[in-house]
Structure 1
């Protein structure tokens, strides 16, 4: 398949703030519908894609290159030829991120049961590279039940907090802000948007799920539909 060229929860106020600097563009539209998508328009999307501060239905995933410190490889988003799940997290998160990651693990298992492991990629990106080193990411994988041996789950770690902001917030529209000093969280906390993107093998967003309590069956079903749609091409 030809990969198309790509362009370089908390409150609605935080999501709106992430609009500034978001770099997602629009795909070609014929008859009011975007090209290059498998799924129907997302009924629970809160606004038109071009009015949101993150890449949404029918828009290209902004490009990035980030290191997977566990596997020791660099992932280039423009080279991914699988159906991908992309989100932003930090593993010291006391609530939302753990809930989200466990639900994505359930999706990973269902994908495996469907025999689609090789056609999918899970890409949680940490926006806390100061604490989320290889050891912390491995500990998180064990804690939430990730199957790292499956080869379709890669924790991505920007080199610096500045790089994390450039990719996670400015490009992907997943807003976050370092806030409270907390001994319980080893120094500080974050307020952050909880957003998960389903991206097809051509790099186009099929779904943008908001919040940590994503419907595992819905997400897994959407993944399977996109994989099957591209298998038919």
Structure 2
């Protein structure tokens, strides 16, 4: 497993772009004239905001692994902001839980994994119970009511803020936890108990910012999300060369 973070030139700019896009698009939806919950165009914006919510958390996740910046304080600042904006989450608490996940993926001490049920909804319920806190709920309630007090229509808050956050949560759980770690394990999941989405890179980006390349993430958690596709390609090439080598020795 790689332990040295691969920062490259894109960590901070991409983090700022995703955070800025989330904030800017949300502010526009909450205030723009002409948007209606009955309009199909509005729901396209809801879907886009859900995707940006996913990117917001992926940014916070990369900060947990120190891949946004070489400066630890900047990683912490970006991670704290991204996780707070996503759903009032505590960055420090997430770091502790995520380290436990990487230390024992799908094991008894893994807070992301459900050992009782592998079905999607029971597992999601267990996941949410472990991660949701009273402080988080209070923070989100205060944010909701402050925005409402400032004059934002309640239907806009539900449609353009709450629903996208739910969609982003479902996207992250389905592509980043459920599909990669559900049992039974297969040989290609070793030693991380994690599988990788088999489809192309366009789908990898659209589905969850390459987070579906989950074996690669566990193999090298210091690799940022935007470079995981390279690891998948390198693994595929290595597997192909190994297969050719076996064929020539027969």
- TM-score calculated relative to the size of structure 1: 0.25
Higher helix content, 1 or 2 = 2
Greater gyration radius: 2
- TM-score calculated relative to the size of structure 2: 0.23
Higher strand content, 1 or 2 = 1
